[in-house]
Amino acid sequence: MFVLLYFTPSIVAFRRMHPMRRAITGLNILLGWSVFGWIVALLWALTAGQKEGHCNESAHTCNCENRQKGEDDLSLV
């Protein structure tokens, strides 16, 4: 049970397919013993790590267009 709790940040990162999941696991292994390191790893795993072009079928939203950063849905031209 302790091992499962200890590796919760890594498990979350892999389940969410976070692009930095290996780095999160490394941080979890090296500094997870400290409360601070474990919290940082968990927060990092919970951050939005989805790649551009990801479709979320459950929320019925799709970002499949090739958009540049800073571009929004409102177009005046």
DSSP-based three-state secondary structure for 14: helix
Distance, in Å, from the CA atom of 32 to the CA atom of 25, rounded to the nearest integer, reads 9
Residue 77 is predicted with a pLDDT of: 40
Q: How far apart are CA 10 and CA 23, in angstroms?
A: 9
Instruction: Read off the DSSP letter of residue 34.
Output: S
CA-to-CA distance for 72 and 77, rounded, in angstroms? 13
Task: Please state the pTM of the whole predicted model.
Answer: 0.63
pLDDT of residue 33: 93
Q: Which residues contact 17 (CB under 8 A, 6 or more apart)?
A: 49, 50
pLDDT in tens, the chain (77 residues): 899 999 999 999 999 999 999 999 999 999 999 999 999 999 999 997 665 555 555 555 555 444 444 444 444 44
